[in-house]
Chains A and B, each alone.
Chain A
């Protein structure tokens, strides 16, 4: 009878945990809500995803064992069932066992954790470099080799809808808070190096599909790299509290085939040349002879039309 009870409780706990976990994996298909880490489109995102799943499963298994033992005890060893308390106070053997087994589990976990981290952090030879600068509250992208630079800010539709009691329904805005005026464009299957910094306070550049985020620290340059395998549009947000509009500086990354990227570069270079001509006029209008002494931030504001 007792053994049967034990079995029933253990089975119930296991079933509950597996059902919860199954929901976690399948629910998005039914509810439209993403609830697990995205697999992403880079080597790094695959590494973090795999590591996440390994750790999650290990925790689920340990949880099932420990909570089953506990609930079996709660069901069986209660005073209302006239269970008499045992008197044991310790067991050196048991305590050694449950110290050593976790050590072994941790060592086993450390192997994929270390390989993943080394593979993510050690950058290969890269083919192009983009400098990312965080401002309150927009991003600036500079393509070092191609000489392109532009500011990327929250899309005007989102920006209007996000005002306090704006009267605009956020669900009517496409990609509410995750859309920008000038997306960052990168070629697919190309190893890209990022130099990440900030101009005012600390920000963090994060596109979940790439598998990592990196802080943008004023006065310091952090390096990161990526190689996006699938063309597409990937969205992210600033991930370090940076003041009142921290929630309103999204990142949009458009990854396109290499040829298309070259076209985009040429188009941007033309646009920049035109803007350059326009800016010279603006500088003169601001009262500067040559415009050399105008602060970059002022230019950034002028450039983005704020």
Chain B
């Protein structure tokens, strides 16, 4: 890896159009452990999240293998529960969130014309906390009392039945939260203070906008999660009764606190996806993003609404009718700004001059399949019908549609889109397309039948099921295995692009690409924008008032 990176830096030095010296630290530890460079930290985040994506993916394979047919063939139910819990924690906190922070680190300074992130040392710290947090979380699987097995929602009293290892889970979540909060402070400080002169807020690329809003969501809700798990910790180990009815507490209170964090968390994972897709669709449609301002307002509205819908996760918990009505109506409202976004993407494509490179394919896959997840979300909002859907595979299908062909497809789209910029070389378009088509077909084989399973009455989080659910579970598992295997192609494409590809990328990379990051060489110099760039119609994509 070391030699490869040196090669990369050599390459970047050669192709840099300006006269900057790179001043790249020498030696592996100096370069990566002590780094304060936003590009290196971005790379660290992305590599880490890819590793976590595969660890969480292996757990999903265990789950789908056990569910391949009725009867228990591979694992005990207790271990199955540890797998579902860890799969979710790893994917949410280890794969998707750090991947978006990686994109933020790499792209925000390049997109707003800043030399680096505002708080580079904190940036280093917020990354290097993560490997320790996840080592601690994963180590619980090897402890006597096993990993957490109460679902990623950690509902008490069940989560309090866990053994001593539960303390490690709580501390790991605390560390992840600290990392996220520091990352968000950094993003906000960078965007608000480090924009190049002339880069007004309403000229910023949409990816920067969505991340600014995401960062505020993170700062608002991560402390709430920290508070919730701390109360679990003291209930478990220090004899408090926050959530213990026998001691005067209330187990349902935990669910309210958790979902006050949990619902904004969903948007934390998907708002940057909206941002990336809003960059890619205009580039490959060769046409400006339709309704830029509306997109910004829609993102802000979704973020606001995310704070007042949390109890739609709890319609069966025994709420007063008025409460159920409130949360039903507020949830339905989310369809409006989300609809605006989808309509605007389609309008951006409309009468464009489209080409379909891998990033565009993933972005289109995102729009279609995320919208399907949005439709099932609207169905779930109907409280009276949710009393049937709740805690079934219908819900599993819903949130996997918005997270896998939603958030993860947007991550893939973004990775293919900016990989030539990051590495200075073109990836293999052929293998990228093979990766896309295998993924998009298998992800539907994997998750679409789960709608049927849920409607037919299969509860979620069960290791074994009645024989009437056998056919669709088998189909779903086959889709899962293909999807899992297809992701190895992704790794292959990246490794090939970074180390083996002979085709150098131009600065602009894509014919229709607009924005400051494309005015730099590929790869960009180690320290970019030491002199603020000039902001004009040729360098930014959204400059309506310049016209």
Chains A and B bind each other: yes
- Residues of chain A touching chain B, judged by Cβ–Cβ distance below 8 Å, are 24, 31, 33-38, 44-45, 47-48, 51-52, 55-56, 59, 62-63, 66-67, 69-70, 73-74, 77-80, 83-91, 94-95, 98-99, 102-103, 106, 109-110, 113-114, 116-118, 120-122, 161-166, 168-171, 175-178, 200-202, 204, 206, 208, 211-215, 217-220, 222-223, 236-248
Q: Are A117 and B384 in contact, with the CB atoms below 8 A?
A: yes
A77 touches B353 (CB 8 A): yes
Q: How far is the CB of B386 from chain A (nearest CB, A)?
A: 8
User: With A85-B286, A98-B340, A241-B150 in contact, is A165–B391 under 8 Å at CB?
Assistant: no
Assess whether A73 is in contact with B157, with CB atoms less than 8 Å apart. no
Cα of A106 to Cα of B347 in the assembled complex, Å = 22
Do A239 and B392 touch (CB < 8 A)?
yes
Q: Which chain A residues border B354 with CB–CB below 8 Å?
A: 73-74, 77-79, 83
Interface SS of A by simple majority: mixed
Closest to B74 in A: A164
Subset of 25 A-B contacts with CB under 8 Å:
A34-B468, A47-B384, A48-B385, A63-B371, A70-B346, A70-B367, A77-B353, A83-B353, A85-B287, A86-B350, A95-B294, A95-B340, A109-B382, A164-B72, A165-B73, A168-B71, A169-B71, A176-B466, A215-B316, A217-B252, A239-B392, A241-B461, A244-B149, A245-B77, A247-B462
Contacts A55-B382, A90-B291, A121-B324 given; indicate if A220 touches B391 (C-beta within 8 A): no
| Known contacts A66-B371, A99-B336; A33/B472 CB under 8 A | yes
Asked if residues A204 and B355 are in contact (CB atoms below 8 Å), the reply is: no
Give chain B residues whose Cβ lies under 8 Å from the Cβ of A44.
384, 387
How far is A248 from B68 in the complex, measured between Cα atoms in Å? 18
A222-B317, A237-B459 known, 11 other contacts, Cβ within 8 Å: A37-B388, A63-B371, A85-B353, A91-B291, A117-B321, A170-B70, A177-B464, A215-B317, A240-B155, A244-B149, A247-B77
| Distance in angstroms between the alpha carbons of A111 and B172 in the assembled complex | 45
Query: Contact between A213 and B343 (Cβ–Cβ < 8 Å)?
Result: no
In angstroms, Cα B349 to Cα A66, docked, is 12
In chain B between 333 and 349, which residues have their CB closer than 8 angstroms to a CB of chain A?
333, 335-336, 339-340, 342-344, 346-347, 349
* Chain A to chain B: the 3 pairs with minimum beta-carbon distance, closest first: A219-B245, A247-B462, A35-B452
Q: Point out the residues of chain A lying under 8 angstroms from B251, CB to CB.
A: 202, 217-220
Q: Which of A88, A178, A220 contacts B318 (CB 8 A)?
A: A220
Partner of A67, one of B151, B368, B467: B368
The SS class assigned to the B binding surface is: helix
A88 lies within 8 A of B246 (CB): no
Q: Which residues of B contact A45 (CB under 8 A)?
A: 388
Contact A55-B245, Cβ < 8 Å, known A77-B354, A242-B158: no
| A177–B465 touching, CB < 8 Å | yes
* B288: interface (CB < 8 Å): yes
CB distance from B420 to the nearest CB of A (A): 19
Interface size on B, residues (CB 8 A): 96
Contact check, A88 vs B290: say whether CB atoms are below 8 A apart: yes
> Does B456 lie at the interface of the complex (its beta carbon under 8 Å from any beta carbon of A)?
yes
Given A177-B465, A202-B251, A241-B155, A73 and B352 contact (CB-CB distance below 8 Å): yes
Closest residue to B392 on the A side, CB-wise? A239
- Whether B62 is near chain A, meaning CB under 8 Å from some CB there, is no
Residues of A within 8 A of B132 (CB): none
A120 to B328, CA, bound (A): 15
Which residues of chain A come closer than 8 Å to B244, judged between CB atoms?
219
Q: Select one of B70, B347, B392 contacting A171, CB under 8 A.
A: B70
- B364 at interface, CB cutoff 8 A: yes
Residue of B nearest to A203 (CB): B158
Q: In chain B, what residue has the closest Cβ to A98? A: B343
B384 & A79 in contact (Cβ 8 Å cutoff): no
CB closest chain-B residue, reference A241: B461
Answer whether residue B237 sits at the interface, using C-beta atoms and an 8 A cutoff: no
Give the docked Cα–Cα distance between A164 and B286 (Å): 57
**B122 CB–A CB distance under 8 Å:** no
Chain B residues 439-490 with CB under 8 Å of chain A are 451-452, 455-457, 459-468, 470-472
Is A121 touching B321 in the complex (CB atoms < 8 A)? Answer: yes
> Measured between alpha carbons, how far is A24 from B472 in the docked complex, in Å?
13
Does B78 make an interface contact (CB < 8 A)? Answer: yes
- Contact stretch, chosen from B14-22, B372-380, B405-413: B372-380
**How far apart are the CA atoms of A206 and B250 in the complex, in Å?**
22
Are the CB atoms of B158 and A212 closer together than 8 Å? no
Q: Could you tell me the distance in whole angstroms from the C-beta of A107 to the nearest C-beta in chain B?
A: 9
Q: Min CB distance, A22 to chain B, in Å? A: 14
Q: Given A202-B157, A215-B317, A218-B245, A90–B388 Cβ distance below 8 Å?
A: no
User: A166 to B72, alpha carbons, bound, how many Å?
Assistant: 8
- A213 — which chain B residues lie within 8 A by C-beta? 316, 387-388, 390-391
Q: Which residues of B contact A169 (CB under 8 A)?
A: 71
Contact A164 B457 (CB under 8 A): no
Given contacts A117-B328, A176-B467, A244-B76, contact A73 B349 (CB under 8 A): yes
Contact across chains for B544 and A113 when beta carbons are under 8 A apart: no
A59 and B77 contact, CB distance less than 8 A? no
A202 to B156, CA, bound (A): 8
Docked CA distance A59–B364 (Å): 19
Q: How far is the CA of A63 from the CA of B373 in the complex (A)?
A: 11
Contact of B388 with A48 in the complex, beta carbons under 8 Å: yes
CB pair A212 B388 closer than 8 Å: yes
Give the residue name and chain of the B residue nearest to A37 (CB). Answer: B455
Is the CB–CB distance between A164 and B76 below 8 Å? yes
Contact B318 A211 (CB under 8 A): no
Nearest B residue to A56 via CB reads B379
Residues of chain B within 8 A (CB-CB) of A211 are 387-388
Asked whether, in the complex, the Cβ of A165 is within 8 Å of the Cβ of B72, the reply is: yes
In the complex, how many angstroms separate the beta carbon of A68 from the nearest chain B beta carbon? 10
Residues A244 and B321 in contact, CB atoms below 8 Å apart: no
Contacts A48-B385, A85-B351, A103-B336; is A162 near B71 (CB within 8 Å)?
A: yes
Q: A residues within 8 A CB of B468?
A: 33-34
Given A85-B285, A206-B459, CB of A110 within 8 Å of CB of B384: no
B382 and A69 contact, CB distance less than 8 A:
no
Interface status of B503 (Cβ within 8 A of chain A): no
Given known A51-B382, A236-B457, contact A102–B246 (CB-CB < 8 A): no
Is there a chain A Cβ closer than 8 Å to B416's Cβ?
A: no
CB of A89 within 8 A of CB of B157, answer: no
CB distance from B71 to the nearest CB of A (A): 5
Residue of A whose beta carbon sits closest to that of B379: A55
Residues of B within 8 A of A178 (CB): 466
Asked if B267 lies at the interface with its beta carbon under 8 angstroms from chain A, I say no
Taken together as a complex, chains A and B put the C-alpha atoms of A80 and B360 apart, in Å, by 15
Q: State the CA gap A206–B332 with chains docked (Å).
A: 25
Q: Does B145 contact A (CB under 8 A)?
A: no
Rounded to whole Å, the gap between the CB of A278 and the closest CB of chain B is 31
Chain B nearest CB from A25 CB (Å) reads 12
B383 CB–A CB distance under 8 Å = yes
Assess whether B355 is in contact with A214, with CB atoms less than 8 Å apart.
no
Which residue of the partner chain B has the closest CB to A219? Answer: B245
Smallest beta-carbon distance A75→chain B, Å? 10
